[in-house]
Amino acid sequence: MTSLTGAALHVDASAVPVVDHLSFLCRILLTGDATGGAFGLVEERGRIGCMTPRHVHAREAETFVVLHGALEGWCEGDLQMVEAGSVIHLPAGREHAFRVASQSAHFYTLITPAGFESFFAAMGRAQAQPFGGELPLPGPVPPEAVAALQQVLTPLGCTITGPPPFGTGAAVPGSSA
């Protein structure tokens, strides 16, 4: 993808590399280079059990647009169920996390301003399968992996603040927690 600030940009999503990042299948559709630093856009799919640790971004906000399934967003103790057709915005400077709350979910993550999308490429494992392929089985992130994550996150102004704030059971789409 080339820097085309000020010009129209078409992205053929099927040509974008797929990575496994924390058991989510991801593809970075737009980087800050392509948007003049305004935002990054990542498309993600995951199955129930996929979640992030609690963390804080110094600069970036994350907005999740759910296309299929449901996510549960947590921001400083407040839980919100976000089902297909809905959006949740997690602001910069606030501790937050999210998880897949349905059997599977498909969503976009809009990162504003851009920059943090580089984390997905840096920590993800390249996949030979298509984005619509079999979803990875989620599992706990081992402590040594958390340390490696934090090493990449620190220069990006993001700090892991603790384990995921969610129980191990499935959330129930259609109700807020």
pLDDT digits (tens, 9 = 90+) for 160-169: 998 899 875 4
Average pLDDT over residues 126-152: 87
Residue 14 lies in a domain: no
Question: 175 pLDDT band (50/70/90 cuts)?
Answer: very low
Q: How many domains does one find in the chain? A: 1
Q: Phi-psi bin for 71: left (phi > 0), alpha (psi -120 to 50), beta?
A: beta
- φ, ψ for residue 16 (rounded to 5)? -85, 130
pTM of the model: 0.89
E strand residue ranges, the chain: 18-21, 24-30, 40-47, 54-57, 61-68, 70-75, 78-83, 87-90, 96-100, 104-112, 125-127, 158-162
Residue 115 lies in a domain: yes
Distances (CA, A) of 16 to 119, 123, 127: 16, 16, 11
Percent of the chain predicted with pLDDT > 70: 91
Residue 134 lies in a domain: no
Residue 177 lies in a domain: no
Residue 60 lies in a domain: yes
Residue 12 lies in a domain: no
Residue 48 lies in a domain: yes
Q: Which domain holds residue 149?
A: 20-127+142-160
CATH number of residue 68's parent domain: 2.60.120.10
Residue 176 lies in a domain: no
